[in-house]
Structure 1
Amino acid sequence: MKRDIEAIAGGDFDLLIIGGGITGACLAWDAANRGLSVALVEKDDFGSATSSASSKLLHGGIRYLQQGRIGKVRESAFERVYFQRIAPHLSRYVPFLVPCYPTLAKSSLALRAAMLLYHWICIGQNRWLDDPSKRVPDWRMLSRQEVAETLPGFDTRKITGAALFHESHMENSERMTLAFVTGAAAMGAVTANYVQAEGFRVRQNRVAGIEATDRLTGDSFEISARCTINAAGPWIPMLNGQLRTDTIVTAFSKGAHIVTPAVTDRVAVALTTDKQNQAIINRGGRHVFIIPWRGHSLIGTTYDAYQGELEDVRPTEADIEELIGDINSAAGSVLLKREHVKYAYAGIYPLIDDEINTRVYQGTGEYQVVDHMEKERIEGLVTVFGAKFTTARLLAEKALNRISPKFEKPLRPCVTRMRSLPCGEIEDLEAFRREMIRKYDSLLTDETIDHLVKLYGTETDGVVTLVERDPRGAERLSREHPDIEAQIVYAVEAEMAVHLDDVIFRRTGLGTLGYPGNEAVERCADIMSERLGWDPARRKEEIERLNAYYDYAGR
Structure 2
Amino acid sequence: MAAFPILDLLVIGGGVNGTGIARDAAGRGLKVALLESGDLGSGTSSASTKLVHGGLRYLQFGEFALVRKALVERDRLLRAAPHIAWPQAFLLPLMPGGRPRWMLRMGLFLYDHLAPRHEVEGTSLVDLRSHPAGGALKPSLQRAYRYWDGWVDDARLVALLARDAAVRGALILTREAAAALAFRDGSFAVTTVTGRQLFARRIVNAAGPWAERVARDLLGAADAPRLRLVQGAHLVTRRVNASDDALTLQRPEGRVLFILPWGPQLSLIGTTETPVTSPDAPAITAGEEAELLAGANAVLKTPLSPADIRHRFAGIRPLVLEEGKSDSETTRDWRFIHHQAFPATTVVGGKITTFRALAEALVSALYPGTSPWTASAVLPGGAIPPMGPTGARANFEAWCALLVRRFQDHDPRIVRRLANLYGSEAEGMLESGLGALTEDGLFEAEIAHLSAHEFARTRDDMLWRRTRMGLEQNGPAILARTIPHPV
TM-score, normalising length: structure 2: 0.89
Residue 418 (structure 2) aligns with: 452
| Partner amino acid, structure 2, of 1:57 | L
- Deviations 1:209-255 (CA, angstroms, capped at 9, x unpaired): 42212xxxxx3122111111111111112221131333223231111
* Equivalent residue for 2:133, pick from 146, 150, 153: 150
- Alpha-carbon separation, structure 1, partners of 2:349 and 2:187: 22
Residue 317 (structure 1) aligns with: 286
* Equivalent residue for 2:473, pick from 500, 510, 516: 516
Quote how far apart the aligned CAs of 1:181 are: 0.6
Quote how far apart the aligned CAs of 1:360 are: 4.7
Residue 21 (structure 2) aligns with: 27
User: What secondary structure does 2:169 align onto?
Assistant: coil
Quote how far apart the aligned CAs of 1:518 are: 7.0
Q: Is contact 2:246-2:259 (8 Å) kept? A: yes
Alignment of 1:345-494 (within 5 A): 345-355=313-323, 360-372=327-339, 376=340, 378-405=341-368, 410-411=369-370, 413-426=371-384, 427=386, 428-442=395-409, 444-464=410-430, 467=433, 472-473=435-436, 475=437, 477=439, 483-494=442-453
- Alpha-carbon separation, structure 1, partners of 2:127 and 2:356: 38
| Partner amino acid, structure 2, of 1:20 | G
Quote how far apart the aligned CAs of 1:421 are: 1.7
Per the alignment, do residues 362 and 193 of structure 1 end up closer, same or farther by CA in structure 2, a change over 3 Å counting?
farther
- Deviations 1:356-413 (CA, angstroms, capped at 9, x unpaired): 77x75355211012221xxx2x2321112242000010000000111115xxxx32x1
- Alpha-carbon separation, structure 1, partners of 2:403 and 2:222: 52
Per the alignment, do residues 437 and 319 of structure 1 end up closer, same or farther by CA in structure 2, a change over 3 Å counting?
same
Alignment of 1:240-279 (within 5 A): 240-242=215-217, 243-265=220-242, 266-274=244-252, 276=253
Instruction: Indicate whether 1:293 and 2:262 are aligned.
Output: yes
TM-score, normalising length: structure 1: 0.78
Residue 85 (structure 2) aligns with: 91
* Unpaired stretches in structure 1, ≥5 consecutive residues: 1-5, 127-134, 214-218, 277-284, 522-555
| Partner amino acid, structure 1, of 2:319 | L
Per the alignment, do residues 246 and 423 of structure 1 end up closer, same or farther by CA in structure 2, a change over 3 Å counting?
farther
| Partner amino acid, structure 1, of 2:222 | T
- Alpha-carbon separation, structure 2, partners of 1:466 and 1:81: 33
Q: Is contact 1:255-1:304 (8 Å) kept? A: yes
Q: Is contact 1:7-1:190 (8 Å) kept? A: no
User: What secondary structure does 2:397 align onto?
Assistant: helix
- Alpha-carbon separation, structure 2, partners of 1:438 and 1:115: 40
Residue 125 (structure 1) aligns with: 117
* Equivalent residue for 2:146, pick from 140, 164, 177: 164
| Partner amino acid, structure 2, of 1:23 | N
User: What secondary structure does 1:429 align onto?
Assistant: helix
Residue 230 (structure 1) aligns with: 205
- Alpha-carbon separation, structure 2, partners of 1:356 and 1:210: 38
* Equivalent residue for 1:495, pick from 444, 454, 464: 454
- Alpha-carbon separation, structure 2, partners of 1:509 and 1:7: 36
Quote how far apart the aligned CAs of 1:486 are: 2.5
Q: Is contact 2:212-2:227 (8 Å) kept? A: no
| Partner amino acid, structure 2, of 1:459 | E
Instruction: Indicate whether 1:75 and 2:69 are aligned.
Output: yes
Instruction: Indicate whether 1:62 and 2:21 are aligned.
Output: no
| Partner amino acid, structure 2, of 1:260 | T
Per the alignment, do residues 141 and 519 of structure 1 end up closer, same or farther by CA in structure 2, a change over 3 Å counting?
closer
- Deviations 1:133-182 (CA, angstroms, capped at 9, x unpaired): xx2122201236346x632243242x462210111112x21111111110
Per the alignment, do residues 510 and 202 of structure 1 end up closer, same or farther by CA in structure 2, a change over 3 Å counting?
same
Q: Is contact 2:128-2:134 (8 Å) kept? A: no
| Partner amino acid, structure 2, of 1:516 | Q
Residue 541 (structure 1) aligns with: none
| Partner amino acid, structure 2, of 1:240 | A
Quote how far apart the aligned CAs of 1:48 are: 0.9
Per the alignment, do residues 262 and 352 of structure 1 end up closer, same or farther by CA in structure 2, a change over 3 Å counting?
same
Residue 212 (structure 1) aligns with: 192
| Partner amino acid, structure 1, of 2:137 | F
- Alpha-carbon separation, structure 1, partners of 2:145 and 2:56: 12
| Partner amino acid, structure 2, of 1:72 | L
Per the alignment, do residues 362 and 245 of structure 1 end up closer, same or farther by CA in structure 2, a change over 3 Å counting?
farther
Per the alignment, do residues 251 and 101 of structure 1 end up closer, same or farther by CA in structure 2, a change over 3 Å counting?
closer
Quote how far apart the aligned CAs of 1:88 are: 1.4
- Alpha-carbon separation, structure 1, partners of 2:319 and 2:261: 28
Per the alignment, do residues 431 and 101 of structure 1 end up closer, same or farther by CA in structure 2, a change over 3 Å counting?
closer
Q: Is contact 2:318-2:349 (8 Å) kept? A: no
- Deviations 1:317-350 (CA, angstroms, capped at 9, x unpaired): 332222112222x317552100000000011111
- Alpha-carbon separation, structure 2, partners of 1:254 and 1:55: 12
Residue 276 (structure 2) aligns with: 306
- Alpha-carbon separation, structure 2, partners of 1:465 and 1:500: 25
User: What secondary structure does 1:361 align onto?
Assistant: coil
Identity %: 31
How large is the Cα RMSD of the aligned pairs?
2.4
Quote how far apart the aligned CAs of 1:192 are: 1.3
- Alpha-carbon separation, structure 1, partners of 2:288 and 2:91: 24
Q: Is contact 2:91-2:246 (8 Å) kept? A: yes
| Partner amino acid, structure 2, of 1:143 | D
- Deviations 1:294-335 (CA, angstroms, capped at 9, x unpaired): 121000011111124x3321223332222112222x317552
* Unpaired stretches in structure 2, ≥5 consecutive residues: 387-394, 479-487
Quote how far apart the aligned CAs of 1:489 are: 2.5
* Equivalent residue for 1:114, pick from 107, 111, 119: 107
Quote how far apart the aligned CAs of 1:423 are: 1.9
| Partner amino acid, structure 2, of 1:501 | D
Higher helix share: 1
Instruction: Indicate whether 1:136 and 2:120 are aligned.
Output: yes
Quote how far apart the aligned CAs of 1:60 are: 2.7
Moved more, 178-187 or 247-256: 247-256
Quote how far apart the aligned CAs of 1:517 are: 4.2
Quote how far apart the aligned CAs of 1:100 are: 1.6
User: What secondary structure does 1:151 align onto?
Assistant: helix
Quote how far apart the aligned CAs of 1:449 are: 1.2
Q: Is contact 1:386-1:392 (8 Å) kept? A: no
Q: Is contact 1:252-1:307 (8 Å) kept? A: yes
Quote how far apart the aligned CAs of 1:102 are: 5.9
> What is the number of residues matched between the two proteins?
465
Residue 130 (structure 1) aligns with: none
* Equivalent residue for 1:38, pick from 28, 32, 35: 32
User: What secondary structure does 2:280 align onto?
Assistant: helix
